[in-house]
Chain A
Amino acid sequence: MALALSLAGFSLADDDEHHERQGYKRPKRLAVPSDAPLVWREECAACHMLYAPGLLPADAWREQMRTLADHYGSNASLDPLQEQEILDFLVRAPAANRLPTEPSPTAGEPPRISQTRWFERKHDEVSAAKFARESVGGRFNCVACHRDAERGDFDDDRVKIPR
């Protein structure tokens, strides 16, 4: 019964406050730790923007690192030593993120930051057309609108959606 109630709460609620009472918060401590290893910065930012580790819980990062040979359709495999160093950082850094790991709706894919309930809720006013703009790139490209996203700054007041 308690489970049924909490599930209903999730699907009906649409504001942060309600979710926080249910224990489902959007991740908040997103600043990139100052001891972040260079190998993480270099390897993860070679192909896409550098995602702050606090955006996903540790288990989701474990899943990411376990499936690097098929990383959303690309081979992103690493040498084992680098892989271990990055994994160690990614399971340590998001200690404040105690969210459940939310699987991607696409089968066989690791979790996506942009497919979490908090992401959906925070972006419910952004149309699919805006996400599809060439200047934006897609839901993966936080830096297009959150200029300092790579430092973990997602403040609403600094959002600017490019034309």
Chain B
Amino acid sequence: MKNHWIVLACCLSLPALAETEHPLLPGYAAQARLENPAFAGFSAERGQALYVAEEQRADKTMSCTTCHTADPRKAGKTPAHRKVEPLAPVANPERFSDAQKVEKWFRRNCDDVFARECTAQEKGDFITWISGLQ
């Protein structure tokens, strides 16, 4: 009986959870509006496309998946053989909880993969996608 109530409570709260915006998104939205007055919101689809986008870097194919694997809910490995804890908050709740860390890793990893900084639009798209993974 108790289990039924837990299941019911979860079902009822799910839609509410899904609509809760990630706390870092308003800041990125404000920045994105500055970068582009025609900013029209974030897209999980574009976020996922960024994650799998491949680039040729120094004769190697690089993408976010190179270190984070094709499934960001799983642990990955750096080129220097260090374990990378899962990137998706559903598997690792610490992820995307510290704005400074998030900025540090976007700065480094966008440079490593795309040889440039990522835009606020891209960062927001990405967080929208990865924080929505179940």
Binding site for B on A (CB under 8 A): 45-49, 73-79, 137-138, 140-141, 144
Contacts and interface: CB of A to CB of B under 8 A. Distances in A.
A48 B107 contact: no
B58 A73 contact: yes
Interface string B55-93: 001100000000000000000001111100000000000
B114 to A, nearest CB: 11
A49 B108 contact: no
Contacts of A49: 80-82
Top 8 nearest A-B pairs (CB, nearest first) are: A48-B80, A75-B111, A137-B81, A75-B108, A47-B78, A141-B81, A74-B112, A47-B80
A119 B47 CA distance: 44
Given A47-B78, A74-B108, 20 more contacts: A45-B82, A46-B82, A47-B80, A48-B81, A49-B80, A49-B82, A73-B112, A74-B79, A74-B112, A75-B107, A75-B111, A75-B112, A77-B108, A78-B104, A79-B104, A137-B80, A137-B81, A140-B81, A141-B80, A141-B81
B134 interface: no
B106 to A, nearest CB: 11
B82 A47 contact: yes
A44 B34 CA distance: 34
30 contacts: A45-B82, A46-B82, A47-B78, A47-B80, A47-B82, A48-B78, A48-B80, A48-B81, A48-B82, A49-B81, A49-B82, A73-B57, A73-B112, A74-B79, A74-B108, A74-B112, A75-B108, A75-B109, A75-B112, A76-B108, A77-B107, A77-B108, A78-B104, A79-B100, A79-B104, A137-B80, A137-B81, A138-B81, A140-B81, A141-B80
Interface residues of B, number: 14
Nearest to B111: A75
A121 B82 CA distance: 26
B84 to A, nearest CB: 9
A137 B77 CA distance: 11
A45 B109 CA distance: 16
Nearest to A73: B58
Interface string B32-67: 000000000000000000000000011000000000
A142 B104 CA distance: 27
Contacts of A74: 79, 108, 112
Nearest to A47: B78
